[in-house]
Amino acid sequence: MYRAPVEEIAFTLKHVAGLKPALDAGTFGDLGEDLVDAILAEAGRFAGEEVAPLYKIGDEQGAVLSGAAVTMPPGWKELYRRWIDGGWNALSAPEEFGGQALPTMLGVAALEMWNSAAMAFGIGPTLTMGAVEALDKHASPALKAKYLEKLVSGEWTGTMNLTEPQAGSDLNALRARAEPAGDGTYRIFGQKIFITYGEHDLTDNIIHLVLARLPGAPAGTRGLSLFLVPKFLVGDNGALGARNDVFCSGLEHKLGIHASPTCTMIYGDGFEGTAPGAIGWLIGEENKGLACMFTMMNNARLAVGMQGVAVAETATQKALAYANERRQGKTASYDGSGMAPIVHHPDVQRNLLTMKALTQIARAISYCCAHAIDHARVSVGDEAVHWQERANLLTPLAKAFSTDVGVEVASLGLQVHGGMGYIEETGAAALYRDARIAPIYEGTNGIQAIDLVARKLPLGGGEHVHGYIAELKAVANQARTSNLQGFGRTADGLDQALDDLSQATRFLQGLLADGRSDAALAGATPYLRLISLAAGGAYLARGALADQSRIAICRFFAENLLGEASALKERVIGGAESLAAAGQTLISA
């Protein structure tokens, strides 16, 4: 059974990501460590005692579609009610609409715990929180007044409707259309696929945010507008009215997260005799919908990164517990009777330590991204620009690296379990199945790597990333000069990885400056892993400097795993030509 690592989460927030200095400086008003600790403790209790016990039934029974209605697994509706009664949906939402306006750092920490306990549960509120942010920043006062309070409380949920069967990740190809009705509303027509929590019975209304094209709109993404389309129309007094012309026509049968309903949504088909055309309201300006939706998508990308961290944490806990119970063979380190627990075997230890280290660095990167988001919000002038650029830089790392880690760690967890991991009874296989979607949705990890190289490396005239690397090098230097026992060759490993990162960064920036974007993008995926590993090593060192009990895992990572950085640099710098040549052999005539 999952047990929330509250102390580990609190330590990473405070001493690695920077929450404690921010609290000491009064950055978040009266928020203090006592309240932070209380929130984390209660979130951990709720995740472990309330959410986790319903994980298995959710995985085994899943969400069920009957007609156009989706029924959630037994106990999930009651669980969701207890969750919103606890105020968890409102944690980081604006106070104006009933939220608690707490830092994003606390929100993502709690999100980690919900997803560790049951990823299929945690993803639902993720979309609602993203909808709240998009409406708060872009919607009219009238729409905010009518919808935000119930979305903030969680009484209603929100969705994000982007892709369509012919479009995939290419939003240029979207065909859903919107027609002005002449009364300030629009009629929406089209099909959307892969819509998470598009239909369910947890709440009595669902608020869909839908990308569609207006008549005469420009081609491509420049012609997309964003619309609010409720499942049930809402009166001026807040009461629910008639059913809108939107329904779920299908539910995907997925590899994992079975309790999360992944829906095909139909708009404007005359559902149950209604007049054709789903009634919607414009959010923001016409043809500026993608900018509005990106507010929601960026929120979702960090949240999906937390899913990777979350599954990695649960997989590590499960594997470590099994390794201490399972007995097999003999080892020199075990002086007990009978066979040794497999945790004594060096190869099992290597797997477990790799799982632990990767989980910690993915958590640190994600929390540092949240830290940057928080500081961008409360800062002004150049400082606000700096923190926004830092958040922009770290978002693709948090999403892509963390979700890759989720899959990698869940796979290692299966290996530690051996044959028992490959069958469903232990639960290790379910975690692997759940984890596999996270590198795919909210922008595939390849797209995140493209975004990192093409859009984020040029930030600040190309110098922001080098300032970030300099900050990481300062941590490496602190480890070298600390005189603390046990660091071994950690500083050497960090210096080498950060030098590799600097070389790879300048190489890619040079390609971009010369207009050789294809060559630069050929190295994008290895570059994303390179910068993540180098940053992660520095974050482990930062934690070890604050708490010497962490030196051992920091050294293990630096001396056993961080050497991958040099190979990644070579792939970035020398791999483009061979990739292009070999890639041609894959293309059919």
Tens digit of each residue's pLDDT (9 = 90 or more) over 85-134: 999 999 999 999 999 999 999 999 999 999 999 999 999 999 999 999 99
According to DSSP H, which parts of 139-277 are helical? 141-153
* Cα 399 from Cα 305, distance rounded (Å): 4
Bridge partner list, 294: none
Q: Under the phi-then-psi rule, with left for phi > 0, alpha for psi from -120 to 50, and beta for the rest, what region is 220?
A: left
* Residue pLDDT tens, the chain, 589 long: 899 999 999 999 999 999 999 999 999 999 999 999 999 999 999 999 999 999 999 999 999 999 999 999 999 999 999 999 999 999 999 999 999 999 999 999 999 999 999 999 999 999 999 999 999 999 999 999 999 999 999 999 999 998 888 876 777 778 899 999 999 999 999 999 999 999 999 999 999 999 999 999 998 888 999 999 999 999 999 999 999 999 999 999 999 999 999 999 999 999 999 999 999 999 999 999 988 877 777 778 999 999 999 999 999 999 999 999 999 999 988 988 899 999 999 999 999 999 999 999 999 999 999 999 999 999 999 999 999 999 999 999 999 999 999 999 999 999 999 999 999 999 999 999 999 999 999 889 999 999 999 999 999 999 999 999 999 999 999 999 998 999 999 999 999 999 999 999 999 999 999 999 999 999 999 999 999 999 999 999 999 999 999 999 999 999 999 999 999 999 999 998 999 899 999 997 5
State CA 315 to chain mean position distance.
Answer: 17
Cα angle for residues 448, 452, 454 (degrees, 5° grid): 110
95: how many CB neighbours lie within 10 A of its CB? 11
Cα angle for residues 279, 284, 287 (degrees, 5° grid): 85
State CA 386 to chain mean position distance.
Answer: 22
Bridge partner list, 186: 180, 280
Rounded (10°) CA dihedral 435, 438, 439, 445: -160
- Token pair 């690296």 is found at 401
In sign, the C-alpha dihedral spanning 450, 451, 456, 462 is positive
Bridge partner list, 341: 327
Bridge partner list, 178: 188
* Cα 472 from Cα 467, distance rounded (Å): 9
Q: Shortest CA distance to 249 belongs to which of 274, 232, 272?
A: 272
DSSP state of 76: H
**In what helix (H) or strand (E) does residue 247 lie, and over which residues does it extend?**
strand 246-251
Helix axes 119-138, 289-325, angle to 10 degrees: 160
Helix axes 576-584, 564-574, angle to 10 degrees: 60
Question: pLDDT tens digits, residue range 472-490?
Answer: 999 999 999 998 999 999 9
- Token pair 């499960």 is found at 318
Model-level pTM greater than 0.75?
A: yes
Catalytic residues: 442
